[in-house]
Amino acid sequence: MDGEAPITGLLQRHGKSNGLFVDGGGEVEKERKGTGERGFLENASFMKWRGEDVLGVPRQHPVPCAFAASLLFFMGVEYTLRMIPPSSEPFDLGFVATRPLHRALQSMPVLNTLLAGLNTVFVGMQTVYILWTWVVEGRPRATISALFMFTFRGILGYSTQLPLPEGFLGSGVDFPVGNVSFFLFYSGHVAASVIASLDMRRVKRIQLARAFDVLNLLQAVRLLSTRGHYTIDLAVGVGAGILFDSFAGMYEDSRKKPTVITITNGALFGSAKEPIESPIWTALSASFKCTEEVGR
C-alpha cells in the first residue's frame, strides 16, 4: 500500500532498523529488543555516537560545556579550600566587593538613612504592583507567587537562623520599619522584585520591568553595603522569585476548567414572531442547509 512504501524505503535505505520498527513483510511491527548484557549494550545510546558527534558537542552546546568545565573547576576549589573555623566571621565575597561603600555609609549616617528610605519606597512599589495585578486587573498569579515565596521564606528563615553580619548598618526607615528583627535567608526584597518584573514581562510592560531590574540591582548593592544580607540570601532570592512564579503558574493551570457553553431552547430557536438573527443561529442554519443538500 502507499502508506507502507515510505517506511519500507526508509528501512531499505538505512539497511537497518531505527530501533523502534522493522519491516515485517508489508506490516510494521514493533522490534523485539534483545535481552541480557549484549542486548543492553547494543541498544545503549553511546554505541551510536560517532567521532564527529563527540567533537561537535562544544560547538552545538557551548553553554552546557561551559557548565561542565565550571563543575570541574569548583570541585577542585571545594576540595582544596580551607574551611572557615567556627570562631571566625563568615566569608562573603559580596562584603569584600562593597567595603568602600560600607565605609562611606558608616561615616555618613544621613546618606544611609536616605538610601534606606528610598529602598522602602521601592518595596512599597513592589507591593502595590503585585496587589494591583490581582485586585484591579484580575490576574492573581503575582500575588499567589508572593504568598508562596514569603511562606517558604518564613519556614527556611526560621529553620536556619544565620548570625547578623558584623558591621550591620540599620536604619529606622528601612523595611521592615523600626529596626525590628528579620530573617536573613533569603531576601524577600529581591524575590518580590523578581516576581513583579516577571509579571510585567508577561503583559509586555518591558520598560517597566527593566526599570525594576535596575532598581533591584541597586537594592542588592545597598543590602550588601549595609551588611543587611549575605550574598547567598540575594542569589537565592532571585531563584526563589523565578521558582515561585513558576509554581503559581502551575497552580493557575491546575485550577482551570473547560468552558461549557449552554444554549437554551429559547435562545436557540426563539419564537415564530421574533426570529433570532445571531452569529450562532446563522452558522447553525447554514449547517442545516448544507446537510439537507448533501442528503439530496
Q: Which residue, among 244, 246, 249, 252, has the nearest Cα to 154 in the 3D structure?
A: 244
Q: Tell me how crowded residue 132 is: count the other CB atoms within 10 A of its CB.
A: 14
Report the distance separating Cα 188 and Cα 146, nearest Å. 9
* Active-site hit among 174, 189, 199, 245: 189
Sequence-separated (6 or more) residues with CB below 8 Å from residue 10: 18
Provide the 3-class DSSP secondary structure of residue 165. Answer: coil
Residue holding cell 535567608? 185
Can you list the alpha helix ranges (DSSP code H) found in the chain?
A: 5-14, 36-43, 51-55, 57-60, 62-80, 93-97, 99-107, 109-135, 141-159, 188-202, 206-225, 231-255, 265-269, 279-295
Q: Tell me how crowded residue 154 is: count the other CB atoms within 10 A of its CB.
A: 12
Contact of 16 with 43, CB cutoff 8 Å: no
Copy the grid coordinates of residue 147.
504568598
Is 61 an annotated catalytic residue?
Answer: no
Pairing of the two strands 27-30 and 21-24: antiparallel
Is 14 an annotated catalytic residue?
Answer: no
Report the distance separating Cα 178 and Cα 170, nearest Å. 9
* Active-site hit among 174, 199, 229, 245: 229
What is the DSSP annotation of 82-126? PPPPTTSPPP-HHHHHTHHHHHHHHH-HHHHHHHHHHHHHHHHHH
Q: How far is CA 264 from the centre of its chain?
A: 43
Which residues form the catalytic set? Answer: 189, 229, 233
